[in-house]
Structure 1
């Protein structure tokens, strides 16, 4: 259970960072996509919620 959560958070954080890196926000007006830390945290939270059963 805990391993699944850790893996889900890790994958979510990586996907969040990949979203920032490859899609991002060129104008800086997007509060989540313009900041690598926020996009990683948002992705980690999404991965956490998806990995819950």
Structure 2
């Protein structure tokens, strides 16, 4: 379990930051009329934000397999 958190800490941080930013976006910018499918509901916006946060933070995470593959290509 400890290894899992060490390996995926950046992705989990992305989920948490994304969900927080999603809620903040809903609170300050969200749709007042209720006709916007994503931004009118705080839960949907938090899920959308968590997904975007995960994908964004995943760009900066490095895996050993990826490093090994890049080294093989360069050689």
TM-score by structure 1 length? Answer: 0.94
Q: Which has the higher contact order (CA 8 A, sep 6+)?
A: 1
Which residue pairs with 1:44 in the alignment? 50
Give the superposition deviation at 1:12: 0.3
Query: Could you tell me which residue of structure 2 aligns to residue 11 of structure 1?
Result: 17
Deviation at 1:26, TM superposition (A): 0.7
Query: Aligned residue for 2:36?
Result: 30
Count of equivalent residues? 53
RMSD between aligned residues: 0.8
Q: Who wins on radius of gyration, i.e. which is larger?
A: 2
Q: Secondary structure at the match of 1:34?
A: coil
Structure 2, gaps ≥5 residues long = 1-6, 60-75
Q: Which has the higher helix share?
A: 2
